Amino acid sequence: SSTGNLCFESASVALRPLVLGFAAVGIFCVGTAFAGASPKPPPPPEVSFAALPASATVQQKQPDGKLNPIRARLLSDHARVAPGDTLRLGVYLEQNKGWHTYYKSPGGEIGLPTTIEWTLPEGGTASEYQYPVPQRFDDQDIVSYGYDDQILLFSEVKLPQGLALGSHTIKATAAWLACEVSCIPGNVELELPIEVGATSEKNDFGPLFDHFAAQHPLDPLSIEAIAVETALSTSAIRPNEEFKAAFLVTPIDPAKPIELLSEERWPTFTQINNGWDWWVNDVTLKKTDTGALLVVVHAESYEPDPLPTKAELGGLFQFKVGEQTIKTEIMRSMPWAATGTSSTPSSSALWQLAEVDTAKLHGAAAALEEKGEEPAKKEATPGSTPGAIPMGPGGILLLLLGGFAGGLLLNAMPCVLPVLTLKLYSLIEQKEATRGEQRLAGLAYSGGILVCFWVFAAAVIVVRFVFQEEVGWGFQFQYPGFVAALATIVFAFSLSLFGVFEVPAVGANQAAQAQSKEGPVGYFLTGIFAVLLATPCSAPFLGPALAFAFAAPTVFLVITFTMVGLGLAAPFLLIAFMPALYRLLPPPGAWMETFKQFLGFTLVATTVWLVSVLGAQIGFDNTIWYLVFLMFVAFGCWVFGRWGGLAETGMRQISALLVALVITVAAGVAFLDFSMAEAACDDGSVATELDFEHEIPWQPFSEDRVEALRGQTVFIDFTADWCWSCKVNERVVLETQTIREAMRDNKVVPLKADWTRKDEVITKWLKRFGKIGVPLYVVIPADGDAEPIVLPEVITTTLVVDAIEEG
């Protein structure tokens, strides 16, 4: 995407995240590049692997026949070992150039740690394998930690005292995720024969083990130059509560204060999580007056079941004391208490110090400057979700209820109305059905809605974790392949309502069909249809809930989508389970055929809207060819209706369906091209004179233009051609004489942030204001110190005018 003076380059984009993402889930994913990587450690010593047996070296073949970019070897530092002695066993990963694997705490929402499982002779024990100090990879604010060269993870293995002499086989199962432009998982089983003899003898791999051992963080208790203190803000962590952890590293010699390795938090502190029962909202870091280093982690717990029995929070610390560079892991145990049990605030002197310094960090910048101190720097926390929303104990529940309310209100949004009228038709059809049939219809419709929302949640997860792309509500409409597919389905559905064809159960005759209603499958598919048309819309209460869902861990994304789906399904479900409400509906009759054909025109209107969205993405020529394709779709539907109708035999119906499909597929191959059209260039200039006489003189949004307009009031309309709510707001509220006069009189510069195409800058700005989709309306006041004014999704003339005048 372009942020200023650059044009969009044309790209061939169809349903990349949705199609490729699902096809490659578990195999391929987008990794972070090496931009911003930290300095590399020294290369490992050269050793020969010629003597290793074939079972100790594995390089997997991928499904496409290519070799995995990682070759794994199982190594020992002994040629022979005596019973009861200790040897070092490790898995050595040789990575192709450009590829990297991950640290035990990869950072953010990407990456997976490399893991090893040992299979030892009975009675043997292995220490926990350690990870060397990682490198930092930073690509477009996506931070991860890992290794882009050879890496050896090893354990110290103690053999049992009574182990029989001779050859014994040790096995290791290693798993990793390797990333370059794509990410490929690896999982191998390695076997290494170990010779057990009367005496121990080392081999040539010892220097390799020593090299990586030197890169392991030190035990803080073994470092004489520092003293370490840790404290929690509470005696026990309870579910769904905020808590803090403080870490104080004090130099023993006051003349040698702690020196940070850089002004940024990396590499001074790298968060380490050993559990999934909490998330970190923020980290503050500063030096105290005594030369010590104070780190405070601000976190919030989930509601784990069962409660964790062993949990730790901490990080990898890197700093200097005098001439000594120290790298150490400092962790704090986290006791848990059940909901409803008591816990007390910490009385630790360290925590009292942390409370004071935290207050300074957040609210007393001026006082710090007077003392000659600098406020602590903050950045997104590795292992936490960027943009996470700090919540109180009941905050999550309120947001989930907001998601339900937003889903309920989606039923009143313009994009869902065509589906609601179809459901009204179905309800009238069901009026004379049995109570069981009515309830089954309600459950089937709700099931279609929920399944579709769950599929969308999975798509979001795939795009975020696999393709490492930021997405928002309705993101699938940014891909022309999806828009075209939906427009085709809607158009075919409209032809069905006009009577061009019907879709019976294969082999059904006219008499049997006349006795049947729509059926559970029909209601299920209509529920899916409702969600497909609902996703470009937003509604009151929906924005905060979705912003939380897209920023929170995966489980909350799924739960929030479920609540929105339940809200969308609630009206129909309520009617299905309350037969008394059916009495409010008119009786079925001949008038319904006319009503059904009227509904067909609402779907034709929806098709026109979707084709206009497609035209904005793929350009005029490709849109004309898509309309030609729709003509053949209509022809195929007519063929099916003419020779595959209810009066025909099952074989004739199948034959007609196959002919219709061949016509449609052949037309698609011949005419469809979803290449993105080249967008209009933006030279980045700022118009000096704006004419509000007939329409709002929108200027293209860019960060450079916003910066250039500093000191002027700016109105930003975050919109998209596929957002029906946006278009209604623009037509009914924004493009009116009252708003134009208010903008002109208050010297407002209107900017339009068009999210019809994927645009990472606009996505970032949406998240900045706690939104995950459009519409969004923001007034940036002329006073640079004033907070931006954010308007709700549903706007009125009064709301907009008041915001403009306030700005």
For residue 543, what are the CA distances in angstroms to 42, 399, 410? 49, 10, 12
The answer on pLDDT for 124 being more than 70 is yes
The answer on pLDDT for 754 being more than 50 is yes
Residue type, 764: K
DSSP string covering 725-743? HHHHHIIIIISSHHHHHHH
The answer on pLDDT for 371 being more than 50 is no
The answer on pLDDT for 335 being more than 80 is yes
The answer on pLDDT for 21 being more than 70 is no
**454 and 544 co-located in one domain:** yes
% of residues, the chain, pLDDT over 90: 29
The β-bridge partners of 87 are 157
Each residue of 51-90: pLDDT tens digit? 999 999 999 887 777 888 999 999 999 999 999 999 999 9
Q: Which two tokens stand for residue 173?
A: 């199962």
DSSP string covering 140-199? TTEEEEEESS-EEEEEEEE--TTPPSEEEEEEEEEEEEEESSEEEEEEEEEEEEEEE-SS
Of 805, 762, 490, 793, the closest CA to residue 637 belongs to: 490
Q: Which two tokens stand for residue 372?
A: 């000659």
**144 and 244 co-located in one domain:** no
Q: Which CATH number goes with the domain that contains 340?
A: 2.60.40.10
Phi, then psi, of 411 in degrees rounded to 5: -60, -20
Q: Which CATH number goes with the domain that contains 80?
A: 2.60.40.1250
| Alpha-helix runs per DSSP H in 644-723 | 650-671, 703-708
With beta carbons less than 8 A apart as the criterion, state whether 393 and 240 touch.
yes
**560 and 629 co-located in one domain:** yes
Would 224 be classed as within a structural domain? Answer: yes
CA distance 749 to 778: 12
Q: For 606, which DSSP code?
A: H
Cα angle value 94/95/98 (rounded, 5°): 160
Confidence of residue 24 (pLDDT cuts 50, 70, 90): very low
Phi, then psi, of 210 in degrees rounded to 5: -65, -40
**359 and 446 co-located in one domain:** no
pLDDT of residue 631: 96
The answer on pLDDT for 2 being more than 50 is no
Would 376 be classed as within a structural domain? Answer: no
CA dihedral 721, 722, 725, 729 (to 10 degrees): 0
**186 and 287 co-located in one domain:** no
% of residues, the chain, pLDDT over 70: 76
The β-bridge partners of 260 are 319
Query: For the chain, what is the mean pLDDT?
Result: 78
Confidence of residue 743 (pLDDT cuts 50, 70, 90): very high
DSSP string covering 33-58? -STTPPPPPPPPPP---TTS-GGGEE
Q: Which two tokens stand for residue 481?
A: 């392949």
The answer on pLDDT for 15 being more than 50 is no
Across the range 761-775, mean pLDDT stands at: 80
The pTM of the full predicted model, rounded to 2 decimals, is: 0.44
The answer on pLDDT for 488 being more than 50 is yes
671, 691, 720: which is the final residue of a domain? 671
CA 301 to chain centre: 20
**628 and 654 co-located in one domain:** yes
Confidence of residue 115 (pLDDT cuts 50, 70, 90): very high
**567 and 652 co-located in one domain:** yes
Is it true that the peptide bond before 390 is cis, omega within 30 degrees of 0? no
- Which of 17-21, 322-326, 568-572, 603-607 has the lowest average pLDDT? 17-21
- Which of 33-37, 587-591, 600-604 has the lowest average pLDDT? 33-37
Residue ranges making up the domain that contains 40: 31-213
CA distance 774 to 725: 9
Q: For 430, which DSSP code?
A: G
**486 and 555 co-located in one domain:** yes
- Which of 399-408, 413-422, 522-531, 619-628 has the lowest average pLDDT? 413-422
Would 309 be classed as within a structural domain? Answer: yes
Count other C-beta atoms under 10 Å from residue 693's C-beta.
8
CA distance 382 to 282: 10
Cα angle value 114/115/119 (rounded, 5°): 150
Of 69, 100, 80, the closest CA to residue 163 belongs to: 80
DSSP string covering 473-532? TTGGGGSHHHHHHHHHHHHHHHHHHTTS---PPTT--HHHHHT--S-HHHHHHHHHHHHH
Would 687 be classed as within a structural domain? Answer: no
Q: Which CATH number goes with the domain that contains 733?
A: 3.40.30.10
With beta carbons less than 8 A apart as the criterion, state whether 725 and 413 touch.
yes
Is it true that the peptide bond before 788 is cis, omega within 30 degrees of 0? no
CA distance 741 to 791: 19
Would 694 be classed as within a structural domain? Answer: no
DSSP string covering 211-266? HHHTTSPBPGGG-TTEEEEEEESBSSB-TT-EEEEEEEEEESSTTS-EEESSSSST
Q: Which two tokens stand for residue 45?
A: 């010593």
Confidence of residue 356 (pLDDT cuts 50, 70, 90): low
370, 387, 408: which is the final residue of a domain? 370
CA distance 686 to 7: 17
Q: Which two tokens stand for residue 547?
A: 């912003």
Count other C-beta atoms under 10 Å from residue 185's C-beta.
17
Of 551, 367, 346, 148, the closest CA to residue 560 belongs to: 551
CA distance 241 to 301: 6
Q: Which two tokens stand for residue 466?
A: 């696999």
Greatest alpha-carbon span in the chain = 98
CA distance 698 to 771: 22
Highest-confidence segment of 142-146, 205-209, 529-533: 205-209
The β-bridge partners of 278 are 301
The answer on pLDDT for 33 being more than 60 is no
With beta carbons less than 8 A apart as the criterion, state whether 751 and 714 touch.
yes
Would 6 be classed as within a structural domain? Answer: no
Highest-confidence segment of 206-210, 531-535, 594-598: 206-210
**For residue 625, what is the enclosing H or E element?**
helix 591-643
For residue 396, what are the CA distances in angstroms to 49, 288, 329, 560, 722? 55, 35, 32, 10, 30
The answer on pLDDT for 431 being more than 70 is no
β 749-754/714-719 pair status: parallel
β 269-273/312-321 pair status: antiparallel
CA distance 446 to 693: 48
**458 and 597 co-located in one domain:** yes
pLDDT of residue 745: 92
**191 and 335 co-located in one domain:** no
CA distance 611 to 630: 10
CA distance 593 to 605: 19
pLDDT of residue 369: 36
The answer on pLDDT for 3 being more than 60 is no
370, 385, 407: which is the final residue of a domain? 370
Each residue of 151-165: pLDDT tens digit? 999 999 999 999 999
Residue type, 213: A
DSSP string covering 387-422? TPPP--TTHHHHHHHHHHHHHHHHTTSGGGHHHHHH
CA distance 17 to 459: 7
Secondary structure (3-state) at 550: helix
Q: Which residue in this structure is represented by tokens 């020294």?
A: 42
Would 390 be classed as within a structural domain? Answer: no
**173 and 87 co-located in one domain:** yes
pLDDT of residue 145: 87
Q: Which residue in this structure is represented by tokens 């409209």?
A: 494
Secondary structure (3-state) at 651: helix
Q: In what order do the strands lie in the sheet with 135-139?
A: 101-102, 142-147, 135-139
CA distance 71 to 84: 31
Count other C-beta atoms under 10 Å from residue 215's C-beta.
18
Looking at the structure of the chain, the number of domains it has is: 4
Would 13 be classed as within a structural domain? Answer: no
**170 and 248 co-located in one domain:** no
Across the range 641-654, mean pLDDT stands at: 79
The answer on pLDDT for 20 being more than 70 is no
